[in-house]
Amino acid sequence: MRLWALDAPGSREYCPGTMKLFIDSAEIKEIEAAARTGLIDGVTTNPSLVAKAGVPFETLLQRICELIDGPISAEVTELQADGMVTQGRKLAKLNKNIVIKLPLTWDGLKACRTFTDEGIKTNVTLCFTAVQAMMAAKAGATYISPFVGRLDDIGQDGMGLIGDIRQCYDQYGYKTQILVASIRHVDHVRQSLALGGDVGTLPYKVFQQLLSHPLTDSGLTKFMEDWKTAKLG
């Protein structure tokens, strides 16, 4: 959700928007179920999720692209810039929606700059500081993926990082979108909204919980009981 647009550093003009929701999964059944809601804007994957799915990578990506007409992050597994570029170019040819996911390393940012110059969208991942996020933005990253849950795990303020990045990007006019990753629960989504995250990528389990509230359930039950008692329909 980007509520402020910059004409110049330090000047802000209000503009409405909405935070996009991506599913963080390589399980086709989960992605299919999420797609049926009509509320999913994209998908993120990583080597761990793909390994768990047990489907050849390119086959998996093509199937996901059939289900979701939006950005689909495909992470490279090469560690050197030249290898990342070669692998990334091949993945990008699979579908116009493929976004090449790169690690936040020197080689990853070298590859990011190459892809940016070639018009290929990128998602720079494993971000844990605002300075790292600044470097990714300078490399032209389309998305930066700060891992809030992993920071929480070691006693640091994951959501505080989102606020720091938002301030940095707004202050200097960077166009890179903040893709809040490693979301563990619904409150991470709430805080992402409040802090101006552009995208939240969430496990299917958390996506299912977004509408859950005991007062919604009890209220609906009461409405239906009253309707049946009144016998008006």
What residues does 122 pair with on adjacent strands? 100
Give alpha helix (H) positions in 96-185.
106-117, 130-138, 148-153, 158-172
Give me the tens of pLDDT residue by residue for the chain, a chain 233 residues long: 344 343 433 333 434 478 999 999 999 999 999 999 999 999 999 999 999 999 999 999 999 999 999 999 999 999 999 999 999 999 999 999 999 999 999 999 999 999 999 999 999 999 999 999 999 999 999 999 999 999 999 999 999 999 999 999 999 999 999 999 999 999 999 999 999 999 999 999 999 999 999 999 999 999 999 999 988 86
Which overall architecture, per CATH, does domain 4-230 show? Answer: Alpha-Beta Barrel (3.20)
CA-CA distance, 151 to 80, in Å (whole number)? 26
* Residue 217: predicted pLDDT: 92
- Per the listing, tokens 């007062």 go with 215
Nearest to 88 by CA among 122, 48, 50, 64: 122
CA-CA distance, 74 to 76, in Å (whole number)? 7
* Residue 18: predicted pLDDT: 85
**160 φ, ψ (degrees, to nearest 5):** -60, -35
* Residue 1: predicted pLDDT: 37
101 labelled catalytic: yes
- Per the listing, tokens 């301030």 go with 167
Do 73 and 99 touch, CB atoms closer than 8 A?
yes
Nearest to 191 by CA among 132, 148, 142, 133: 148
Nearest to 203 by CA among 38, 46, 95: 46
Q: Catalytic residue among 96, 101, 205, 222, which?
A: 101
Do 109 and 139 touch, CB atoms closer than 8 A?
yes
- 67, amino acid identity: L
Identify the H or E element spanning 123: strand 122-127
The domain limits of the chain are 4-230
User: What is the C-alpha end-to-end distance of the chain, expressed in Å?
Assistant: 42
Helix, strand, coil in percent for the chain, rounding step 5: 50, 20, 35
* Residue 120: predicted pLDDT: 98
pTM of the model: 0.90
* Residue 232: predicted pLDDT: 82
CA-CA distance, 179 to 2, in Å (whole number)? 12
* Residue 6: predicted pLDDT: 37
